[in-house]
Amino acid sequence: MFDLSIVWAGIIAFGVLMYVVMDGFDLGIGILFPFFPEQAERDVMMNTVAPVWDGNETWMVLGGAALFAAFPMVYAAVLSALYMPIILMVIALIFRGVAFEFRFKANRTRHLWDLAFIWGSIIATFLQGVILGAYIQGIHIVDERFAGVALDWLSPFSVFTGVAVLVAYAALGCGWLILKTSQSLQTRMYKLMPKLGVLMLITFACVSIWTPLHNPAIAERWFSMPQFLYFSPVPVLVLWCTYAIWKASKNQQQLKPFVYTLGLIGLAYSGFLISLWPMIIPPSISIWDAAAPRSSQAFALVGALIMIPIILAYTGLAYWVFRGKVHVGDGGYH
């Protein structure tokens, strides 16, 4: 009999990674919008994700629902602990989501929907980073319930992780746009990409140093022998990915900047998982403490194991249908 809590933790970790990667690049487009004031170019940028953004965001809903199903205590305690950032984040996502709908239809008010898209993307991203930081810092739980105060989530560390996620999503967005655009727009993305890569290196390094300073248990995990030796290639890999982003952008290779940005984010994400395992609410609640009744985990798992491969297949199909470049003037929407 295998451990359902571990399987579910794996599924949720996978769902969150899918979300970060997929909604990451489309939120990133909103973050990059201010640097590209030309309306026709903004149209192109938005159109590269228009057919898929809804599916991308669904991974976040899956994360919440899977948590609710497999670890309801975590869903209850973490969401009430992070009450304000979560509600403000979903409100920011409302503005961003409807901007997709309204921006192309507006004439006089188009700049307002541009602003809704920009600020919706920036605030949602920043708050996701704040949520991440607050989560890493730990949530005060007594008797399965949140027992802290309303503003526990707000700290210099959580604000900094907010900035780090902004940089990471912007880089993903830039890498995506290199793939999906052409000519002068793509050229400027190539110029922007190395800067974002370096910024990402700096912010990730800061978070990596700050986290163990803050949290002795995480420091113990990384800096005691023999783990230290196992993990020692990680900084080398990070440096190598950043260099590869820089080089591929210089050589104007389209796919590599996006792939190596994904590599950097994957490394950071695996570091995050290694730091916390097996805690699902740091610092003290493990996945087994928080597990739903076995019958809940088992019932939902049947659906997850059947459906996730099917979902991946038709998500892939949707991306394939809309493969290729998006050009200025495509669609003739004026």
Instruction: Tell which positions 75-114 bind other proteins, by CB under 8 A.
Output: 75-80, 82-84, 86-88, 90-91, 93-95, 97-98, 100-109
d(CA 66, CA 126): 23
Per rule CB under 8 A, is residue 191 in the interface with other proteins? no
Nearest Cα neighbor of 49 from 210, 181, 241 is 181
Task: Specify the residue, 13 or 79, whose C-beta has the smaller distance to other proteins.
Answer: 79
Size of the site for other proteins (CB under 8 A): 79
Task: Specify the residue, 1 or 313, whose C-beta has the smaller distance to other proteins.
Answer: 313
Report, in Å, the least distance between residue 71 CB and other proteins. Answer: 8
Report, in Å, the least distance between residue 173 CB and other proteins. Answer: 16
Task: Specify the residue, 15 or 263, whose C-beta has the smaller distance to other proteins.
Answer: 15
H/E segment holding residue 230? helix 227-231
d(CA 292, CA 141): 17
Angle, helix 4-32 to helix 256-276, in steps of 10 degrees? 140
Locate 267 and state its tokens: 């490394």
Task: Specify the residue, 73 or 172, whose C-beta has the smaller distance to other proteins.
Answer: 73
Give the footprint of other proteins on residues 232-291 (CB under 8 A). none
Give the footprint of other proteins on residues 10-69 (CB under 8 A). 43, 46-47, 50-55, 57-58, 60-62, 64-69
What is the gyration radius of the CA atoms in the chain, in angstroms?
A: 20
d(CA 207, CA 239): 15
Give the footprint of other proteins on residues 118-157 (CB under 8 A). 144-147, 150
Which residues, 6+ apart, have CB-to-CB distance to 37 below 8 Å? none
Residue from 202, 209, 273, 307 touching other proteins (CB under 8 A): that is: 307
